[in-house]
Amino acid sequence: MDETIHQITTPLFQTFGTIVFVLIEIFTHGKLGVEAKAQPWDPLTLPKIESVERVKRGEMVVGIGFSLLALLIFNAYPEWISVITIVDNEVTVTPVLSDHFVTFVPWLTVLWSLNIALDAYVLAQGRWRPLTRWLQIGLSALSLAILGWMLVSGPLLAWPALELTARLIVAIIFVVTAVDMIVQVYRLVVRRIAHSSAQAT
């Protein structure tokens, strides 16, 4: 099974770099390569970019809601994550998550709690600022550490038949989180360069 998991997850990470470059090309509207060939890059020519971003309130409220729900289920009602079978009028409850996965719950609890606190603060402020974006990037890095730990450690599910699917899902979440984090870093760096250039002029 480990070899099969490796065969599936390795291509995901191999394509990670390609995805990042494609996203950068999208966010620069395909102008990055053309402008680089046309003339030497000059940071002084970058347009002035605001150092704040307005929040997407609906998206943020939904995110906070899901995080609160995850905190409630994983900490107060873990038995809900089970499969109930009835055979000959006998009810059997089988946990889905392995004992090893349970060791990640405290770390996930910290991550979700910090995400809720950050999102609530940003929601109250009504906008993202460079500091809060960097804090978000830090939480993304923590998330990547936890997800990576899951991928290289013991079984995540109590059902071996579903273990491969679970690891594939974790690997996909890892890649998506990493891409999002890199895009956020790229945006912050571009804004920083533009802001510095505007001040210099």
What's the pLDDT tens digit per position in 34-59?
544 555 545 445 444 445 678 888 98
Give residue 29's region: left, alpha or beta (phi > 0; psi -120 to 50): left
CA distances in angstroms from 190 to 62, 177, 184, listed in the order given? 29, 20, 10
Query: Of the ranges 12-16, 109-113, 181-185, which one carries the lowest mean pLDDT score?
Result: 12-16
pTM value is 0.71
Instruction: State the amino acid at position 196 in one-letter form.
Output: S
Helix/strand/coil for 55: coil
What's the pLDDT tens digit per position in 75-124?
999 888 988 888 877 888 889 999 999 999 999 999 999 999 999 999 99
Tokens 């990547």 locate to 144
Distance of CA 127 to the CA centre of its chain: 20
What's the pLDDT tens digit per position in 138-163?
999 999 999 999 999 999 999 899 99
CA atoms of 88 and 131, how far apart (whole Å):
59
Instruction: State the amino acid at position 114 in one-letter form.
Output: L
